[in-house]
Amino acid sequence: MAQYRIPQNIDLPDRIIGPLTLMQFLYLLFGALGGYALFKFLDALFFTAFALFLTAPVILMALALAFVKVNEQPFLKFLFAFFQFSTSSKIKIWQKQEIIEEKKEIKKIEIKKEETRKPEEIRSRLEELTMVIQTKGWSEVEEEEKKKKGESFLEIGKRIVSNREVKPPPPQI
């Protein structure tokens, strides 16, 4: 019997370039390119130490985005949560709103007492139902009773709903 390897840790991001994931590599790449471009621009305008001082936060941010995790969450998610917290209001004021209740009328329901049936009627009805169940609706007794009451054979057929063809049971001996 052949053995197959079952993938493990499928929720981890793939390591694309060495030990770096694609997102880590892109953060580092754009951070290095942005830092280098900023350094070259500021170095031409100011002295080198000042250019390094202004370029360092860009490179540090790229390193933090690539490698730092806060509570097992990426640093970018932490930054978004921090800015959302910083910009939202900290004071919550309760404003009481009046609750308008609608009065609903309660309808009184009259309970109708069912007609009491005689035990003979119940027993005869149960016998009819068992006959219908046992013969799968092909009871001769039921057909004769329906003919006596005036119900046609087509009306009886409309009551029988089935998705398969029903054959009458073999005659009983």
Sign of CA dihedral 50, 51, 55, 56: negative
- 55 sits in which H/E element: helix 48-67
Residue identified by tokens 């039921």 is 142
Q: Which residue ranges make up each domain of the chain?
A: 15-86, 122-173
For residue 159, the model assigns a pLDDT of 54
Give the Cα-Cα-Cα angle 139, 144, 146 (nearest 5 degrees): 95
* Predicted pLDDT of residue 26: 94
Q: DSSP letter string over 68-121?
A: -EETTEEHHHHHHHHHHHHHS-S-------PPPPPP-PPPPPPPPPPPP--HHH
pLDDT in tens, the chain (173 residues): 788 888 887 888 888 888 899 999 999 999 999 999 999 998 888 888 888 888 999 999 999 999 999 998 999 999 999 999 999 888 888 877 777 777 777 777 777 777 777 888 888 888 888 888 888 777 665 556 655 555 555 555 555 555 555 566 677 76
| Rounded-to-integer distance, Cα 32 and Cα 36, Å | 6
Note the pLDDT tens digit of each residue in 79-120.
999 999 999 888 888 877 777 777 777 777 777 777 777 888
In DSSP terms, 24 is beta-bridged to: none
What does pTM read for this prediction? 0.47
